[in-house]
Amino acid sequence: MSELEIPITDVENFIYCLEVVPDADVIETTEVVKILEDIALNQNITSIYKACDTMEDLEESISNLLYDDHNFKDYEIIYLVLPGDANNILINNYYYSIGEIAELFEGKLDNKVIHFSNKKLLDLTDEESQYFLDVTGARAVSGYGYSTNSMSSAFTIDRVFFSLFYEDDDLIEVVKRMYDKHSKLCNALGFRLYY
């Protein structure tokens, strides 16, 4: 990872991460948790992590964040580590479309950036992305067009995206800087942002 230049933010920032796991009742330190701990130590970005194994669990986690966490306004990035394929997520052997996800979180993600890891492809049409943004109230949705088991975005480019975003929340500038400094990785994973 030494070749990956990751900016360090100078103020504390926050990410809310939801990861789909086979069984949320089993306490397990996943690779994502280890990465989030490293990001907190080395990039000054704190995270709240929640493992989910059902759609109800995912919905409850967002609701708890919205209504029970008084620091919700501090979480600008919702980081979703969910399996699936093009514009569908897979939870507990059921597929849910990006439209269903939008409706589930209707009006709940006001001004948040929703970022999907590359465990799931994100390849939205203009109409699909606009629908998601309009329904959820999100500021932007980002992710990757290519999924690969050999390279996790969590280990690599997600870290860069989070740091650059908290350094300069102009999303166009963030994407430009990502491609300027890490074009090989961005192209290999097909990084994309809809806003």
Domain membership flag for residue 5: no
Mean pLDDT of the 130-152 span: 89
Domain membership flag for residue 57: yes
**Cβ–Cβ under 8 Å, residues 91 and 119:** no
Domain that holds residue 39: 13-194
User: Looking at the DSSP assignment, which residues form a beta bridge with residue 89?
Assistant: 84, 96
DSSP letters, 10-39, are: SS-EEEEEEEE-S-TTS----HHHHHHHHH
DSSP 73: G
Which of the four pLDDT bands, split at 50, 70 and 90, describes residue 146?
A: confident
Which of the four pLDDT bands, split at 50, 70 and 90, describes residue 1?
A: very low
Pure H helices in 78-125: 98-104
Closest CA to 104 of 149, 154, 138, 153: 138
Domain membership flag for residue 98: yes
Domain membership flag for residue 120: yes
User: pLDDT (tens digit, 9 = 90+) per residue, 14-30?
Assistant: 899 999 999 988 888 99
List the CATH number of the domain containing 184.
3.40.50.1460
Domain count, the chain: 1
Whole-angstrom distance, CA of residue 101 vs CA of residue 124: 13
Whole-angstrom distance, CA of residue 147 vs CA of residue 130: 23
DSSP 145: S
Whole-angstrom distance, CA of residue 174 vs CA of residue 161: 7
User: SS3 for 119?
Assistant: coil
Residue 155's φ and ψ, nearest 5 degrees, are: -75, -25
Closest CA to 175 of 127, 140, 147: 140
Domain membership flag for residue 30: yes
Look up the pTM and report it: 0.89
Domain membership flag for residue 95: yes
Query: CB-based contacts of 128: which residues, under 8 Å, 6+ apart?
Result: 87, 98, 99
| pLDDT of 168 over the 90 cut | no
Domain membership flag for residue 72: yes
User: pLDDT (tens digit, 9 = 90+) per residue, 40-88?
Assistant: 998 889 898 999 999 999 888 888 777 776 665 678 899 999 998 888 9
Angle at 52 between CA 50 and CA 54, to 5 degrees: 155
CA-based end-to-end distance of the chain: 29
User: SS3 for 138?
Assistant: coil
Domain membership flag for residue 4: no
User: pLDDT (tens digit, 9 = 90+) per residue, 90-130?
Assistant: 999 999 999 999 998 899 888 899 999 998 889 999 999 99
| pLDDT of 2 over the 50 cut | no
